[in-house]
Amino acid sequence: MTARYTQNPHITLIVPAFNEAAAISNTVVNIAHHLEQLTPNWDVVVIDDGSLDQTANVVRALAKELNTTLVRFSRNFGKEYAITAGLENASGDIVICMDADGQHSSELLAQMLEKWREGYDMVYAVRQDREVESQFKRWGSKIFYRAMSLSGQINIPPDAGDFRLMDRQVVNALLSLPERNRFMKGIYAWVGYKSIGIPYFPLERTHGESTFSKLKLIQLAWTGITSFSVMPLRLASALGASLAFIAFIYGIYVVVDRLFFAESVPGWPTVVASMMFFAGVQLLFIGILGEYLARVYDEVKGRPSYIVAEISKPHGAKTASKPRASKAKTSVTPEQDLLI
C-alpha cells in the first residue's frame, strides 16, 4: 500500500469557462458536492476566459460558499490558456481539470482519485462516444491521432482530452514548459509520468452549444502537429528530393534522346503542366515553412500567453493581477522544443 492511501490530499478543481453563465453554477455545486465526499481539503478555480455573459458574476456569488476562486481574463484567449492559468493558480496536491458545461461527470472523480492512490500521477478520461459524433469529427480525430503518432516522438493517447487528474509533480512539470503556442494534449504527453486512462461517456451539454467549430478544431490540430513535430517539413524535403530526382532522370533522357535519336518533339502542354505543378508544390512548402516561422516569431516576441484582469479569492480579497509570462524554468528552449 502506498503512502497515498493514508494521505488526505488537497484537491484543486480547475474549470475553464467561456460564456457558461447558465451552466457554471450547477457544475460547481455538483463538483463541490462530490469533492466534499472525497477529501476535507479542496477548492475550485474557475477561469473566466473573457466571457461576454454573466459568468464572472455568477462565480463571484458562489465563491464564498463553495470555496471558489475566480480568475478572469481580460479577453477570450482560448481553452488551452484558461487551463494554463488554472494550473498556475492551483494550490492543490492534486489538480483536476473539468469543463464548465457539465459534460464531464463528477462521478468519475472518485475513480480518478483511487487511481492516484494506486500510484498513478496522471489519470485521464477517455471518451467512448466517438461513434455518435459527426463524420467530420470522427474522421478528423482519426487522421489527427494517426498523423501525430507517425510524426512525433510523443505518444498522445487517442480520445483523451483535458478531463484529467494530475499530481503536483505533473502540474509543476507542465508549468515549466515555456512555450506560448500551448497545445495541452501534446504537453500532457510530453511531460510523461505514470499515466492511465479511464473510460467515460461525456454527458449532454446542459446549456448552449460547443464553441469548438470545425475551423477551430482544424486550427488546434494544426497547432498540435506543428508544435510537436517537424514531420511536415520532412515530408516537404522528401517530396522535393523525389521530384528533383525524377527531373534529373528526365533531364538525362532528354539529352540522350537529343544526341542519339534527334527526335525532339515540342511538348508544350507537358512544360506548362509541370511548371504549374512545381510552382504549386513550392508555394505549398513555403507556406509550411512560414507556419513554423510564425510559431518561432510568436515565441521570440515573448508576450505573456494571457492577461488576467482579476483574481477573486473565496474570502473576498480581490487582486488585479500583473501580466504574467510563462517564464522558462527549464533548459528546454523553444527551438529545441520545436525539434522534438
Helical H runs in the chain? Answer: 21-38, 55-63, 79-88, 108-117, 135-151, 168-175, 184-191, 214-228, 231-256, 268-301, 334-338
As measured in angstroms, the least distance from the Cβ of 101 to Mg ion is 4
Residue 113 binds ligand UDP (CB under 6 A): no
- Does the protein bind Mg ion through residue 49 (CB under 5 A)? no
- In 3-state terms, what secondary structure has residue 71? strand
Binding to ligand UDP (CB under 6 A): which residues in 36-55? 49
Look at the block and give the residue holding cell 510523461: 192
Q: Does 59 bind ligand UDP (CB under 6 A)?
A: no
Phi first, then psi, for residue 186 (nearest 5°) are -70, -40
Q: Which three cell numbers stand for residue 159?
A: 480520445
Which one of the spans 63-71, 96-104, 163-171, 304-312 is the region binding ligand UDP (CB under 6 A)? Answer: 96-104
Task: Look at residues 53, 39, 175, 29 and name the one whose alpha carbon lies nearest to residue 106.
Answer: 29
From the number of C-beta atoms within 10 Å of its C-beta (0-12, 13-18, 19+), residue 293 rates as exposed
Question: 165-176 burial, b for 16+ CB within 10 Å, e for fewer?
Answer: bbbbebbebbbe
Q: Output the smallest distance, CB 128 to ligand UDP, in A.
A: 15
Task: Choose the stretch contacting ligand UDP; rule: CB under 6 A; options: 31-39, 94-102, 264-272, 310-318.
Answer: 94-102
Q: Quick one: which of 21, 82, 170, 174 contacts ligand UDP (CB under 6 A)? A: 82
Pattern 62-101, Mg ion, x by CB under 5 A = ---------------------------------------x
Return the number of the residue (72 or 127) whose C-beta is nearest Mg ion: 127
Number of residues that bind ligand UDP (CB under 6 A): 16
Is residue 56 near ligand UDP by the rule CB under 6 A?
no
Question: In terms of CB distance, is 78 or 232 closer to ligand UDP?
Answer: 78
The answer to whether residues 330 and 178 touch, using CB atoms and an 8 Å cutoff, is yes
Question: What gap in Å lies between CA 100 and CA 149, rounded to an integer?
Answer: 30
78 binds ligand UDP (CB under 6 A): yes
* Residue in 9, 16, 152, 197 binding ligand UDP, rule: CB under 6 A: 16
In whole angstroms, give the CA distance from residue 6 to residue 71.
Answer: 32
Name the residues that contact ligand UDP, by CB under 6 A.
16-18, 20, 49, 76, 78-79, 82, 99-101, 103, 210-212
